[in-house]
Every structure is written in structure tokens, then in C-alpha cells.
Structure 1
Amino acid sequence: MKVSFLVPFLASLAAGVPTPPRNDVVSYDGYKVLRINTHGHPSAIREELSGITYEQWNRDVYKHLDILVPPDQVATVEALDLEYQVMHENLGDSIAAESNPRSVWKREVGDLSWYDSYHDYQDHIQYFEDLQKSFPNNSELISSGTSYEGRNIHGLHLWGAGGPGKPAVLYHGNVHAREWITSPVVEYITLQLVTGYNHRDAQTRSFLDKYDFYIVPIVNPDGFAYSHTTDRLWRKNRQPPPENKNQSCFGRDINRNWEFAWDANPLGASTNPCSQSYKGEAPSDAPETQGLDKLVRQLRDGAGIKLYIDWHSYGQYILSPFGYKETLYAPELGKWTKVAGIVSETIRDSSDARTTFTFGPSGATLYPTTGAAPDHVYSIGRAEFSYTIELRDTGKFGFVLPPELIRPTAEEQWEGQKALLSLLDEEFFDGEGPA
């Protein structure tokens, strides 16, 4: 999820100015996360907050503004005449609780205790290797390239009867490092595909017999590892700053670095290396983007891409192209909107929490994004369906989602994916604009 309204606190802490040494762990003890009611007047609220250092977590601020407040600013914010709810009383405590294992995983593929806790990068690699071993005749481990720090961008390729070579379904998780919920959701969907096929579930078999699945749960491994060891709220990759910028800020936003529409809208990304949404010096100048794009083009030039999903958090959205312009509608928008509506309804009806997703074209529904993966994979990769899915929640916990919500989040997304995959070959109205 994008964060673009930045103040001195974010520039000095979350964006990394100066970048802390790798062993200098960023502490959020005493930091408070507040949801401030804006009542449709966000500019007035920002005026009230002027002079206060904070990080904004959300971008859709018409109803509320989610902010991370450092300890020395908490009393000042609370003294203002603002309506707010507390998301995290002490973010440091929430992060500590999030990191405590709730159960011991038995290293068995079918052991769902994996989804009771968050895990580090090496454990995720091991989990996917174990998944592949449980499906040896219909899968292979793949790589989508190498990160800046030399980590493998690991993934899994699945297929069904008749062998590989069918139209592709491509999933990306953990593009943004701090969005930890995305990788276990992608892994849970992978688990259900593998176990369902092995257990001869007719619906699951129909998916794998019709499509090849290319699943990359952590496309930003350096940032993900850094979010575990050093800064829980790190978002970008770990690429050093451009030499000509005289900056010490690390990282590019991989989801603003894709070639298509990279420079199409000044509101869609930042040219400041210290910004959370820094787009880089040139399209695809992040090695992660280069590797991911190579796979996209290979799939396009093979049997084609049927479906692409870029998984993020938070906000509960299902977003389709285009992101770079609020008033630009793809010819397929009617079809995409119908499908997204059915997926949203399926998720809601399958969830004890009645989890509700907002859906629509990305730029019009949420905010402008340039150089974003779904626009690129649709326009350059020629994907028939292309979505961003922003997972739970809508702001009670934000990026630091408690581990007890991993499994219900993953389960409802699998229900949504079953609905979506069943609709990919349906005939829909393809007129421009909303259906």
C-alpha cells in the first residue's frame, strides 16, 4: 500500500536518513498508531498536525488518517481536539507479540501450524522446497532472478494433466517488505492447489489441468529479510542510493519501478530516494524488477498470461488497471469489475468476520501509481486479468497484523481464488468503463 505524504519523521526513520547500520535495530517502543477521523476534510486535519512529526500509513484519507507517532510527539497529538481511535497503543509491544511463535511447525506440508506464526526468509524457502517435494511430478522450483544483495527470488511452478505449457497464472507476494501477511497467503493458496490435486479434488484438478501456476511468495527478499532483522516497517528493496543524488537513503519501491507508465504521472511515484515510493533512476533499474519482468515476458511469449495478482496489504481492495491515471479505463474493465465483485462477495460470505473488499480500477478507486506491476503485466505482458489485492485489514492493525489472523486471512483468500479461477474463461461484457 502506498505511503506518499511524508514528514520529517518518515524521512529520518522509515525511509532511512541516515541509513542505520545493519546491526542497528530500529525500535518502535513507545510509538503509537492512531486513526484520526477526517470527516471528509483531510486538509484541515493535516493543518492541525502541521509541525508534528509522524508517518502516514494510509493514502485514502477522505474518512480517516492513519499515523505513526513517535513517543515525544504522542502527548502533543493527543492534546489536539481530534477524534481518533488507537490502532496500536505501543507499536513496539505489537511487533514483539507478532514475532512470538504461537506453535511449533512440525516440518510437514499438511501441518497448518505454519500459518499460526510469521516466519523468516530462510524458513519460507524451506517451506516451498517441501511443497515441491510433495508434488514432484507436477512441479519445479523456479527463480525469478536475484536480488541486489544476491538472494534468490524463489518460486514454484505447478501444472496438471498433460504437462506444463498452458496459459499462466502468476502470483507475486511481499513486493513491499513490511506487508508480511502476503507471503503466507500466497503459500496457503499454493498448499491448497498441491494438496487438492494430490487428493483428487475435482475443482482443484480442473485449475491445474487448465493453467500453469507460477508462484513467487517473496519478490523482495532483501527488504523482507531486513524487515525481520532491522526495521519492521521497511518497505523498499535494499539497493544503495544513486551516486549522483548525494543521498544515503537505501531502496527503490519495486512497485513503482516497472517499465510501463514509469514516468506517466508525477503523482504516481517519487523521484526522491528517501521517499517510500521512490521509483528509481530509470525503469527497471532494480535487479528484482528486471528478473520479474524477464519471467513476465517469457510467459507472454509462451502460452500467455491468463491471470496476474500482486498481493499487498492493507486496506481490503481488489484493484485492476489502470493505476497511473484516474480517468483511464481499460477495454476489459467491465469484465474485471464483474469478476472482482463476485470474488469480493465470495470472500465476504466465506468469512466469519464478513470481510468486505472494495473493488475497481486502481487509479480511480485508490490513488495514482506509476510503474506498477499490474499495469505493466497487463499492457506489456498482455495478461487477460490483472489485479492488485490489498489484504486485511481496513485499519484496526494496519501493517502489523496479529499472527492469529494469518489463517483466516489465507482461508478467505483461497475461497476467493477458487471463485476467480472458475470465472477466467467465462464470457463477460468487455465495454469500456464500469460494467
Structure 2
Amino acid sequence: MSYLNFEEITTGIQLLATEYGDFCDLVTLPHTSVETRQVHALALGDTRGPDMKTVIYVGGVHAREWIPPDALVYLAADLLEARKGGTGLTYGEARITADEISQIFANMQLLILPCANPDGRVYSQEVDPDWRKNRVPNPMPDGGMCHGVDLNRNFDVAWDFRRTFAPNAVSASDDPCHKYIYVGPEAASEPETRNIVWLLDHYTGARWYLDIHSAVPAVFHNWGLDDIQTDTPEMNFLNPAHDGQRGIAGDTAYREFIEEADAAELLRLSQLMAKEIHKVRGDDYEVSAAFSLYATSGASDDYAYSRHHANQDKPKVLGFTMECGHDFQPEFNEAENVMREVSAALVKFAADVSTTAIA
């Protein structure tokens, strides 16, 4: 066995949609990648559609992180086989019963996008294993050419980091030749970013968003903008009075507001996933707000959560980032162990929230 390339990922989810058509649909995303690759997702559930209560799972935003796309393809296959066969799933000591599988499919929809950044994955697997961004050309004034935008700095939440953050306080760059963290020429400039925005726009029943990365290992949740606090609502990413203050760890000048109930639920669900991961083979994943790693602007999990705050007509979506495993591209036998950890966590997450009513 070896890591899947993008063609194999596409073929795999197409075959799943054909074989398990009673329980899933192939979703064609509206924007082809920079290099014109078509991107697909799978919608799993006994009933599918934009209004269904939905969890969105996304992988492959960063090209060099090879495990998440494979993990999400195998997760989809495991879930669909279990649903059709009326069985449960076991990953080490983590067990999901047949009743829990039936409950997930009956009560909600899982929207799985295995590889959000196809061009980057191709380039990482064929040219530069350390490649992180997409492959958009960035022409330079001297006639030269750089490539790529970090998709996880390209979402429309505090994207203009030079205005919104304190100097040198955030993991972001406006240098088009920065190999890792170039934010792009504007928010949501990249078609791969806009595909994820479309999922959140189109699936109005979405209430949870999980972006699967590697490798810390950790389960992070909102916010990544600054330390969180629950006492001062006006101290938030939309308030220009606090521009230039964000991103400094441990200070009191600025901390990002979060509703107390949201903070408690984000922590509960993150701990639930970490507990299931530990059951697989005893690995311990850190649980914390994403800011504990470093300050981020334009990240997908914060964007998902920010939408309701920026526009009250949009539903509230809780955002998580799982940083799975200990290496970007471990030997495949180790990658399979990490995939089992990811699967155990994501299935238990779905089983838990499948009983949650949504407004």
C-alpha cells in the first residue's frame, strides 16, 4: 500500500458513490483548481441535501500533509460499508456500534471533501515533498514567477493581517514568494478556497466544520486569532478599534471574544475526539484553542465560525482543526495507524452531534 495520488482519490470517491448510491451522493464543486482539476466531495446519509443537519470534513488543504486525504477516503469507505452491512466499526479499542452508525446516517449528513488542494498534492508528490500551497502563478515585477497561496491564510476572517494584527504577531506573509504562508492578493482569491466557501454557503444545515491537517498532534478549536475570553463582547475581530493589537500571547490588551456556551461545546467535542484517538493506540493529542499553536489569519476553521458573527442571517458553525500524527509523510504503515486515529475521532464526533437539534 502507498499514499493515494489525486487521480486515485477522485476515482475512489466516484466508485463509492456508485457502489453505495443509496447512502451517498457525489458532489461536484463549482470551481476547478488553478490547473483546472475538478474537485469532488461525498455527501453521506440516508437523506442528503443542503438543508440536512451537516458536519463538513475537509482534508488536503496543505499539500505536503499527505495523510488527511487518504484518511477521509478510507473513512468514507468504512462508514458506507458499515451502513450497508449493518455493522459497527472498530479502531484499536475505539468502537462504534451498528446502532451509532445507523443513527449517524438517519439523523444527519456527513459532507467529506478529501482533497481541497489537488494541484498542490500533485506537485508535492511528484516534485517537491515540502510544498504546502496551491499552484497559482504569482508574476513578479522583475519578470520572474513565484507560485502558490497558502489556502489556510486565504479565507475572509482577519485576512488583512497588517491592519488587524500587531506587527510580527501572526503566521502570515504578503510576500508572493514566501514558500509557506503567502495570504494571496485578496481574501478568497483562490478557487480552492472558494470551493470551501461554497460548501458553507450551499449546505445551510452545516453546524460543524473540521479541517484535518498534520502533524502536531493536536485537536484545536476556535479561535486562532488570539487568546479567547468570554467577558468582553466588543473585543472581537470585527471591531476596528482593536486593529493592531491582535495576536500577542498572554497580553491583556486584546483577547478574542467567544460565547461561553460555544467555548464549552468546542472544548467538549475536542476532548471527545482526543479521547477516541487515545483508544486506538494510546497516543495523546493536545486539546486547546488554535491560538495556542500560533496566531493565524484567514484560516478555514475561524472563517467557518466567523460567518455567523459577521452576518447573523448565517447559521453558527463550530470550527475545529485536527493536526494528526507526528510527521507529514511517515512510512505508510505508520500513516495507516494515524488514519485509524482520525477515523475513530471523526466517527465518534458524528455519532455525538447526530443527536443534537439545530435551529
C-alpha RMSD of matched pairs (Å): 1.9
TM-score, normalised relative to structure 2: 0.79
Find 2:299's aligned residue among 355, 372, 379.
Answer: 372
Compute the displacement of 1:312 (Å): 0.4
Verify: 1:273 aligned to 2:176, yes or no: yes
Aligned equivalent of 2:340, options 411, 415, 430: 411
Q: Distance in 2 between matches of 1:174 and 1:404?
A: 19
Match of 2:323, SS? strand
Partner of 2:231: none
Q: Give, in whole Å, the separation in 2 of the partners of 1:136 and 1:420.
A: 24
2:100 aligns with 203
CA shift at 1:163, angstroms? 4.8
Match of 1:420 in 2: 349
**Matched-pair contact (CA < 8 Å) for 1:268–1:324:** no
Whose radius of gyration is greater, 1 or 2? 1
Report which structure shows greater RCO (CA 8 Å, sep ≥6): 2
Secondary structure in 1 matching 2:83: helix
Count of residues in Structure 1 that have an aligned counterpart in Structure 2: 301
Deviation, structure 1 residue 383: 4.3
The equivalent of 1:52 in structure 2 is none
**Is contact 2:209–2:319 with CA below 8 Å preserved after alignment?**
yes
Q: Which runs of 5+ in 2 are unaligned?
A: 87-97, 228-254, 308-313
Contact 2:222 2:318 in 1 (8 A): no
2:181 alignment partner, SS class: coil
CA contact (8 A) 1:239 1:250 kept: yes
Amino acid at match of 2:264: G
Preserved contact between residue 320 and residue 336 of structure 1 (Cα < 8 Å): yes
The residue type equivalent to 2:120 in the other structure is: G
| Unaligned stretches of 5+ residues in structure 1 | 1-115, 428-435
- Secondary structure at the residue paired with 2:22? helix
In structure 2, the residue matched to 1:143 is 28
Residue 145 of structure 2 aligns to a residue in which SS? coil
Q: Which runs of 4+ in 1 moved over 6 A?
A: none
User: TM-score, normalization: structure 1?
Assistant: 0.66
- Which residues in structure 2 correspond to 1:122-271 (within 5 Å)? 122-144=7-29, 145-160=31-46, 162-164=47-49, 165-200=51-86, 201-242=98-139, 248-263=145-160, 264-265=164-165, 267-271=170-174
Cα pair 2:139 2:146 within 8 Å, conserved: no
- The question of 1:307 aligning with 2:192 is answered no
1:283 counterpart = 2:218: no
Cα distance 1:424–1:314, how it changes in 2: closer, same or farther (>3 A)? same
Tell me by how many angstroms 1:241 deviates.
0.6
Kept in 1, the 8 Å contact 2:304–2:317? The answer is no
SS in 1 for 2:64: coil
Q: Secondary structure at the match of 2:210?
A: strand
Equivalent of 2:269, from 333, 339, 349? 339
Q: 1:400/1:418 Cα in 2 relative to 1: closer, same or farther (>3 Å)?
A: closer
Structure 1 pair 358–247 and aligned structure 2 pair: CA distance change class (3 A): farther
Verify the 8 A CA contact 1:347 1:415 in the aligned structure 2.
yes
Q: What displacement does 1:211 show?
A: 1.3
State the partner residue of 1:388.
Answer: 321
The one-letter code matched in structure 1 to 2:172 is A
Q: Cα gap change, 1:245/1:298 in structure 2, threshold over 3 Å: closer, same or farther?
A: farther
Q: CA deviation at 1:351?
A: 2.1
Kindly state the Cα deviation for residue 146 of structure 1 after the two structures are TM-superposed. 0.9
The equivalent of 1:325 in structure 2 is 226
Do the aligned residues in 1 keep the contact of 2:151 with 2:193 (CA within 8 Å)?
Answer: yes
Amino acid at match of 2:338: T
Moved more, 403-412 or 173-182: 403-412
More moved, 271-280 vs 185-194: 185-194
Distance 1:168 1:244 in 2: 45
**Aligned 8 A contact 1:184 1:406 in 2:** no
Which amino acid in 2 is paired with 1:296? L
**Aligned partners of 1:174 and 1:183 also within 8 Å:** yes
**Alignment match, 1:7:** none
CA displacement, residues 21-52 of structure 1 (integer Å, 9 cap, x when unaligned): xxxxxxxxxxxxxxxxxxxxxxxxxxxxxxxx
